[in-house]
Amino acid sequence: MTPPAFTAALNPRQKVRAAGLDPDHWYAAEYERALPPGTTRLTRFWGAPIALTRGRDDRLDAEGRPVRARYGLVWIFPGDPARAERVALPEVPELEGPDPWAYVPIDFTWRAHHSMVIDNLCDLTHAHLHRRFASFQPGRLLQCQAQDDRVLLRYEARVGPLVRRRVPPSPMTIGYEYPYHWAAFEWSGIRGRIKYWTFLLPMDERTTRVFFVMLYDTLRVAALPVPLPHRAVWWLLRAAQPTVRALLDQDGLALEAEQAGYEAHWTAPLVELNPAVSQLHRLTIRKWETHLERTAVTVEATA
């Protein structure tokens, strides 16, 4: 037996693992540099194939849908084209202005439902899965606030390369701004702000492409009289990319195992340690229900 479809789901866990993401938003679908003039790349949104094309005249197209380019990414609006003009592309203030933060992109395609990826990104209790990569410690959940299309989490956590040492915890804020995710914090024991956005492309019910937009502010190193500027931070972080990728590969491994586990044991009761996770699920479920109502997809039609 396979897990139930959304409309046949019996509980919130089954619902959230079957929910799609509302197509009436902008979704990062590809890197601009992966689409030089005169090329086409295929992608999918919730099972529907989409051909991304850049003509020889440099114009982007996605089979007649509106397409935008921003922050090095190609964005598609898979939903109602009439709504595209009224829905804003995500704004990343750290990349605007005369001195943008150091920006290092990284992406993965994981065989896992998008809601599992959001759970992973928002829930620090999975720190033990990283084993020898001690990049963060679980920390205390100080606040969980769900309002409108957003769940805001405040943690007190140790993050960064010094977590094995005696460094004080620092505040960390994580937002699920439907359908996007961001996290803002400061390295523990080093002065330097980090913010990263995660843009998910739900390719189908068990495949999600995950675009991380990692942003780093100037870095204060104790031995240096002035902070490292954004350009120097960028070079440093380019060099650290293999480590970041190896760390996130562990999340991918855990997520793919979780997906396989869910497909085998979807009737089992869910044991959830972090109270914030149910808030994330509620938002995903509510938005998908609203989408289904709007597009008049009834229980009978999808059963």
Greatest CA separation for the chain = 68
**Of 170 and 198, CB closest to Fe ion:** 198
* CB closer to Fe ion, 125 vs 278: 125
Q: Which of the residues 204 through 223 are near Fe ion (CB under 5 A)?
A: none
Considering the rule CB under 5 A, would residue 22 count as an interface residue with Fe ion?
Answer: no
Instruction: Give the distance, in angstroms, between the CA of residue 225 and the centroid of all CA atoms in the same chain.
Output: 36
Q: Which is nearer to Fe ion, 94 or 251 (CB)?
A: 251
The residue (of 24 and 251) whose beta carbon lies closer to Fe ion is: 251
End-to-end CA distance of the chain: 15
Q: Is 145 helix (H, G, I), strand (E, B) or coil?
A: strand
| Binding to Fe ion in span 89-128, by CB under 5 A | none
| CA-only gyration radius of the chain, Å | 20
**Smallest gap from residue 235 Cβ to Fe ion (A):** 25
Closer residue to Fe ion, CB minimum distance, 30 or 251: 251
Strand segments, DSSP code E, in the chain are 27-31, 39-45, 48-54, 60-61, 67-70, 73-76, 102-110, 140-147, 150-157, 170-177, 180-186, 191-204, 207-220
- Binding to Fe ion by CB under 5 A, coded x per residue (else -) over 230-269, reads ---------------------x------------------
CB of 184 to Fe ion, least distance (A): 16
- In the complex, what is the shortest distance from the CB of residue 126 to Fe ion, in angstroms, rounded to a whole number? 6
Q: Shortest distance, CB of residue 121 to Fe ion, whole angstroms?
A: 8
* Beta carbon nearer to Fe ion, 195 or 287: 195
How many residues interact with Fe ion (rule CB under 5 A)? 1
DSSP, collapsed to helix, strand or coil, labels residue 256 as helix
Long-range contacts from 11-17, C-beta under 8 angstroms, 24+ separation? 12/278, 12/281, 12/282, 12/285, 13/266, 13/270, 13/281, 14/266, 15/281, 15/285, 16/115, 16/281, 16/284, 16/285, 17/113, 17/115, 17/116, 17/262, 17/266
- Number of other CB atoms surrounding residue 254 within 10 Å: 17
- 124 or 233: whose CB is closer to Fe ion? 124
From residue 138 to residue 167, what is the string marking binding to Fe ion with x (rule CB under 5 A)?
Answer: ------------------------------
Helix/strand/coil for 17? coil
**CB nearer to Fe ion: pick between 205 and 251:** 251
Q: At its nearest, how many Å lie between Fe ion and the CB of residue 233?
A: 22
CB 86, min distance to Fe ion, A: 35
Provide, rounded to whole angstroms, the least separation between the CB of residue 60 and Fe ion.
33
Residue of closest CB approach to Fe ion? 251
Q: How far is the CB of 120 from Fe ion (least distance, A)?
A: 6
What token pair was written down for 241?
């990319």
Residues 6+ apart with CB under 8 A from 291: 20, 22, 23, 24
Query: What residues make contact with Fe ion under the rule CB under 5 A?
Result: 251
